[in-house]
Amino acid sequence: MKTNDKILVIEDDEVDAEFVIRTLKQAGRYDIQHRANLRSGIYALKKNSFDLILLDLGLPDASHEESLKQIQVHHNGAPIVIYTGENDIRLALEKLREGVQDYLVKGESTSNELRRCIAYAIERSRLLRVKDEFLSIVSHELRTPITSILGSIGLLLSGAIGELPPKAVNTLEIAKRNCERLIRLINDLLDLQKIQAGKMELDIQPVDVLAVVKEALEANRDYAANYSVSLKNISNVKDLLIVDGDRDRIGQVLTNLISNAVKYSPENSSVTIKAAIDESDRVKISITDTGDGIPIDFQKKIFGKFMQADSSMNRKKGGTGLGLNICKSIVTMHGGAIGFSSEQGSGTTFFFTLPVHQTLFNNRAYV
């Protein structure tokens, strides 16, 4: 026997909530829970699983941006449909880029349109889930043989079977780089699938940010050297900067931002990394390059999935177009924020902030 789809309606206006609930009940296929603010909506998500979330952006206890961000942390893969009084095409497109399924305007959406939108969003989400599960299986099946091939190439290059002629070494180096690129792509796809399904788990522990920055710099020095770029830590904080977070995932964000900065930096330049406490008493980590900057028409889309400012350049430099989207998701899951500043011809600074757990320093260092 087919069970009804479960819908969470987060709407503070009693009239709008009554219209939505009455309309959806007429379809006879939904179990509906209603919450009037963000806090109680998140509580419901922690206690139950839902097939769809209908979210009003104008909630009394959160801003537009914070409402969607917090719901995306706890939605467990359920599709999100925005239901708002703001008839703003730019806002609608922005929210669609941020991962919502649809955008409905109050007073302009009829009962039939509301029911149709909800039914389509749920079915579309199920079809995407099947595709993502298939992609996950394929990715897992690919990673094992590619890792084995990479290990064999490493043995050959190490001289385990004897010295190789220069042409063979060159060919194996190319194969090694391509295998490493494939593994990065597979790992990005698997991370993306986990995030979309709400299944990425964080191992939250007190994390020494300065230590993670140091580890990321050391891990990427050889990579930067291949581009004739140096890495410099200009953090001026002598004591600990502690956050509650997943050490490996924070390191993943740092590695991605550092490698991006290196790829788009000119030869014989440097990429600088700085960790400090900002004016809002949050830990802020900044990665700065001296490249060409991000094109203005691409800046609003840069954290989207598979987004590449210049596909021809990206093919030359390498990359999947997923890294920044994954970084944003990881930082958001930590309760932080990510952003950038960029000027054409003057380089780019990417930064992300994390809530402070404990700070032990005598002299505050503000960014």
Give pLDDT tens digits for 256-271: 999 999 999 999 999 9
Buried b (16+ CB within 10 A) or exposed e, 103-127: bbebeebeeeebbebbbebbeebee
For residues 293 and 342, give the distance between their C-alpha atoms in angstroms, rounded to a whole number: 5
Query: Average pLDDT, whole number, for the chain?
Result: 86
- pLDDT at res. 312: 44
Res 310: pLDDT = 53
Identify the band that residue 245 occupies on the pLDDT scale cut at 50, 70 and 90.
very high
* Band of pLDDT at residue 313, cut at 50, 70 and 90: very low
Whether 1 shows a pLDDT value over 60: the answer reads no
Overall average pLDDT of the 291-296 stretch: 88
C-alpha–C-alpha distance, residues 16 and 265, integer Å: 51
Instruction: Please classify residue 362 by burial: count the beta carbons closer than 10 Å to its beta carbon, then call 0-12 exposed, 13-18 middle and 19+ buried.
Output: exposed
pLDDT: which is higher, 175 or 190: 175
Surface-to-core class of residue 128, CB atoms within 10 Å of its CB (0-12 exposed, 13-18 middle, 19+ buried): middle
The span from the CA of 87 to the CA of 170, in Å, is 58
Domain 5-127 coded CATH 3.40.50.800: no
Lowest mean pLDDT among 39-48, 125-134, 192-201, 281-290: 192-201
- pLDDT score at 360: 44
List for the chain the helix, strand, coil content (%; round to 5). Answer: 50, 20, 30
Whole-angstrom CA distances from 88 to 32, 80, 300 are 28, 18, 16
Question: Which candidate, 57, 63, 59, places its Cα nearest to that of 103?
Answer: 57
Beta bridge partners of 349: 288, 341
Q: Residue 366: its pLDDT value, please?
A: 40
Half-sphere exposure for 149 (CA within 13 Å, toward CB): 17
Q: Say if residues 146 and 190 touch (Cβ distance below 8 Å).
A: no
Cα(190)–Cα(352) distance, rounded to whole angstroms?
A: 23
Query: 59 to each of 11, 63, 82, 96, 99, how far by Cα in Å?
Result: 7, 7, 12, 19, 19
Residue 313: CA atoms inside 13 Å, Cβ hemisphere, count?
11
Q: What is the pLDDT of residue 348?
A: 94
Question: Is the pLDDT confidence value at 51 over 80?
Answer: yes
Instruction: Give the pLDDT score at 127.
Output: 86
Length of the chain: 367
Q: Average pLDDT for residues 59-65, to the nearest whole number?
A: 86
Residue 266 token pair: 């000119």
**pLDDT band with cut points at 50, 70 and 90 for residue 311:** very low
Class of domain 205-360: alpha beta
Is the pLDDT at 193 greater than 80? The verdict is no
Percent of the chain past pLDDT 90, that is, above it, reads 48
Domain ranges of the chain: 5-127, 205-360
> What is the C-alpha separation between 273 and 253, in angstroms, rounded?
13
Would you state the pLDDT for residue 306?
63
**Dihedral sign of CA atoms 30, 110, 93, 85 in order:** negative
- The yes-or-no answer to whether 5-127 and 205-360 have a common fold is no
Evaluate whether 216 touches 258 at the Cβ level (below 8 Å): yes
Asked whether 286 and 351 are in contact (CB, 8 A), the reply is yes
Q: By mean pLDDT, which of 111-120, 251-260, 352-361 is the weakest? A: 352-361
Tens digit of pLDDT for each residue in 4-34? 999 999 999 999 999 999 999 998 889 999 9
Higher local confidence (pLDDT), 198 or 77: 77
pLDDT of 14 reads 93
Closest of 286, 289, 311 to residue 298, by C-alpha? 311
